Amino acid sequence: MLKRRWLLYWPSKPLVGNPQNTMLKKVTTIVLVVSVAAVATYFAWRIFAGGIATPNPNNNNIGGPDAEKASTRTLTLDPVFDFWIHKASKDIYSIAPSGQIIRVGLSPATSVSVTSQPIPELGSINPSLDGSSVIIKFGHPNQPSFSIFEIGKKEFRALPAGITSADWHPILNNRIVFLKNNGGVSQLATLDTRNNKILEVVKINQKDLLVEWVTEETFHLHEKPSSDQPTIIWSYDSKTKTFSLITKGESPSMLKWWPEKGRLLKWAGGKLTLADKNNHEISTINLSTAPDKCFLGEPIIYCSAPRDQYAINQNKFFRAALMRDYRGSASETIYEIFSLSAGSNRQLSASPMLSSGEIEQIGGGLRSVKVEKNGDALIVLSGQDRRLYGISL
């Protein structure tokens, strides 16, 4: 009975031992218990209340309170042919080699099939500026077919037969420009998808061209790039009905236009150049890579390029390797992701973003990579395993 009273309260005279020492031990024990409980409560709060990166339920962008701590995330396990981003929702859409369109989730388990219809012999995709629709090229390379897929309606719409190249209006998602073989010439025309109205722009006495719609009145016409033949890129002004040269027969010549930025990246004469819509040079970039391997952000440009820039520039087979990568062929070249500020400097220097270990975590090493920016993350398509990865910025 006496021991039970001792546990419930402290009597004025302890039964045994030095009263001061006994009191000190009791106080120390209580302080330790309270401290441990406080620490445990803090970590439980960090884990369950605020420490886990939580996806936004309204989109599949990489995000959450601590998203920046998870540098790399695998988004797909199955092979991806290509991908694009719906700008309003920030949803990522991929197309499989079979032609199936998938809305990519934060992890492979959360991806959702949008279509099940197979598409034979995929050639390329070209999303509208807002990402709500995409032009799909498929079929035999010498006689391709083109269709438009609208995400909102989840339906395909065939474009006229005989088209060899097509591109979206620089702003609108209901108008396209296309090149169509018409006897011995190519017809450049626009199509309003709302009423199927076709307007001819000009006839060109050359075939096998690629077209880009730059401004309301301006179009880029590309010869298909070659590693051993000079190629030319023209600009055509439909208002003045005049052609002007963008590149002058260099090998290879490649160009990518960003209508929302009013900027273009051009590879010609052995250098990568940032220019305005009139082809006035803004900056040269100290990277050797194809323009379609870059994403023009603001103020940062992100590019994938061969890791060993010195060796690749000294290699006489560089142009052939660049063309293989441009066409999406298998490449043994290890790629790095570089970032550079798109400021007013005449010479832009690129800095690698990933360590060698981080590169190897992405599909066993990057090969011929496509890069897009989505919110606070880069979405990367690895040419090695054809998977999508998210890299937090």
Which of 170-174, 184-188, 275-279, 329-333 has the lowest average pLDDT? 329-333
Q: What average pLDDT does the structure give for the chain? A: 78
Specify the pLDDT at position 55.
Answer: 33
> Domain-by-domain residue ranges, the chain?
2-48, 254-393
Q: Are 80 and 92 in contact (CB under 8 A)?
A: no
Residue 36: pLDDT over 80:
no
Residue 379: pLDDT over 70:
yes
Scanning the structure block, which residue is given the tokens 């998870």?
70
pLDDT band at 40 (very low <50, low <70, confident <90, very high): very low
Specify the pLDDT at position 218.
Answer: 96
pLDDT band at 54 (very low <50, low <70, confident <90, very high): very low
pLDDT in tens, 116-169: 999 999 999 999 999 999 999 999 988 999 999 999 999 999 999 999 999 999
Q: How many residues comprise the chain?
A: 393
d(CA 117, CA 104): 17
d(CA 359, CA 371): 14
Specify the pLDDT at position 297.
Answer: 82
First to last CA, the chain: 67
Scanning the structure block, which residue is given the tokens 């990519």?
104
Specify the pLDDT at position 320.
Answer: 57
Which of 44-58, 170-184, 204-218, 326-340 has the lowest average pLDDT? 44-58
Q: Mind giving me the DSSP string for 138-150?
A: ES-TTS-EEEEEE
Give the Cβ contact number of residue 113 at 10 Å. Answer: 10
In this prediction the pTM is 0.77
